[in-house]
């Protein structure tokens, strides 16, 4: 290939290109890891939180619990362990869900818990996750800070087996032990039972 084939002004496509290797530095959002669940697991954990990125996004597609009626939640690994004290996660939540063709519930509330909510429990929106599923985006910022507490925001949406729609926006702040230490891991789990299905993908976002 001629050295003039690729130049700042364009690419000469009359040549044949064979690409090998890895191109880096081309995107501010980089996929780090993917976990696809096809049979029951207790949780999905990500512990590769490179200091190359201070912010992370997790995309969760088609997630299902082992039985209906439970909410997907998240815990932080801080100071060497996943934190699960009863009042360590402060949840603020806005949600709207459909319980019939023309019946909707719109509510907002806050509560403390052993984890942070990321999705609307299907018990509020129908009889199952299978037909439409639930999809979620979870955003984590400033995770390596030793002067700021840890938090996330999660947006979930989808529908139940009878096609009822649901959506939830939840902001979560961790207020417990070791909150001013660097984040070591992220754990996703259902409030009861197991994670039965779903694709969980972790992306690093450059500041």
pLDDT digits (tens, 9 = 90+) for 54-105: 999 999 998 888 877 788 999 999 999 999 999 999 999 998 888 767 788 8
* Among the listed residues 204, 148, 137, 200, the one whose alpha carbon sits nearest the alpha carbon of residue 174: 148
On the 0-12 / 13-18 / 19+ scale of CB atoms within 10 A, 149 is middle
Number of domains present in the structure of the chain: 1
In degrees and rounded to multiples of 5, residue 182 shows phi and psi of -65, 140
pTM of the entire predicted model? 0.83
What does the alpha-carbon distance between residue 45 and residue 47 come to, in Å, rounded to a whole number?
6
Task: Tell me whether residue 11 is in a domain.
Answer: no
Q: Which domain holds residue 181?
A: 28-205
* Among the listed residues 163, 167, 156, the one whose alpha carbon sits nearest the alpha carbon of residue 131: 163
């Amino acid at each position: 290939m001629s050295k003039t084939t690729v130049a700042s002004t364009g690419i000469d496509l009359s040549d044949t290109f064979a690409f090998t290797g890895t191109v880096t530095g081309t995107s501010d959002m980089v996929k780090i890891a993917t976990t696809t669940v096809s049979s029951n697991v207790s949780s999905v954990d990500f512990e590769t939180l490179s200091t190359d990125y201070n912010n992370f996004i997790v995309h969760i597609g088609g997630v299902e619990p082992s039985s209906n009626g439970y909410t997907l939640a998240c815990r932080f690994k801080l100071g060497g362990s996943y934190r699960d004290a009863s009042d360590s996660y402060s949840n603020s939540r806005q949600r709207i869900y459909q319980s019939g063709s023309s019946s909707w519930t719109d509510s907002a509330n806050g509560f403390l818990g052993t984890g942070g909510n990321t999705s609307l429990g299907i018990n509020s929106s129908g009889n199952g996750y299978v037909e439409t599923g639930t999809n979620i985006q979870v955003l984590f910022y400033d995770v390596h800070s030793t002067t700021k507490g840890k938090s996330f925001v999660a947006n979930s949406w989808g529908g139940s087996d009878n096609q009822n729609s649901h959506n939830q926006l939840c902001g979560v702040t961790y207020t417990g032990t070791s909150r001013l230490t660097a984040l070591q891991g992220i754990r996703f789990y259902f409030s009861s039972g197991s994670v039965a299905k779903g694709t969980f993908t972790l992306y690093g976002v450059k500041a």
